[in-house]
Homo-oligomer: A and B are copies of this chain.
Amino acid sequence: MSQQQYDLGVTCDMHVHVRDGKMCELITPTIKAGGISVAYIMPNLQPPITTIDRVVEYKARLEALSPDTTFLMSFYLNEQLSPELVAKAADMKCIQGIKCYPAGVTTNSNQGVDPNDFTKFYPIFQVMAEKNLVLNIHGEKPPVKDGDITVLNAEIEFLPALEKLHRDFPNLKIILEHCTTAEAVEMIERISSENVAATITAHHLSLTIDDWCGNPINFCKPVAKLPKDKRRLIEAATSGKPWFFFGSDSAPHPIENKSKCCGCAAGVYTSEYCIPYLAQVFEQQGKLDNLSKFVSFNPLKFYRLLNDEHIMNKPHCILYKEEQTVVAEIIKDDIKVVPFKAGEKLNWNVKWE
Contact = CB atoms under 8 A, between A and B. Distances in A.
A256 to B, nearest CB: 9
Contact of A151 (B210, B217, B255): B210
A69 to B, nearest CB: 28
A215 B261 contact: yes
Interface in A178-217: 208-210, 212-217
Interface stretch (A5-13, A124-132, A220-228): A220-228
A338 B260 CA distance: 12
A262 interface: yes
B143 A210 contact: yes
Given A213-B219, A223-B213, A150 B262 contact: no
A142 to B, nearest CB: 11
Contacts of A261: 215-217, 255, 258-259, 264, 338
Q: Give this chain's copy count.
A: 2
A152 B214 contact: no
A264 B216 contact: yes
A143 B318 CA distance: 37
A87 to B, nearest CB: 39
Given A259-B259, A261-B258, A209 B152 contact: yes
B152 A217 contact: no
A217 B260 CA distance: 9
A226 B151 contact: no
Contact of A209 (B151, B264, B338): B151
A263 interface: yes
Interface in A323-353: 338
A308 interface: no
Contacts of A228: 148
Nearest to A154: B210
A148 B226 contact: yes
Contacts of A212: 213
A226 B259 contact: no
A216 to B, nearest CB: 5
A260 to B, nearest CB: 6
Given A216-B216, A259-B259, A210 B264 contact: no
Interface string A11-35: 0000000000000000000000000
Contacts of A143: 210
A209 B150 contact: yes
A317 interface: no
A309 interface: no
A146 interface: yes
A190 to B, nearest CB: 24
A266 interface: yes
8 contacts: A143-B210, A148-B226, A150-B209, A152-B152, A152-B226, A215-B261, A216-B262, A259-B261
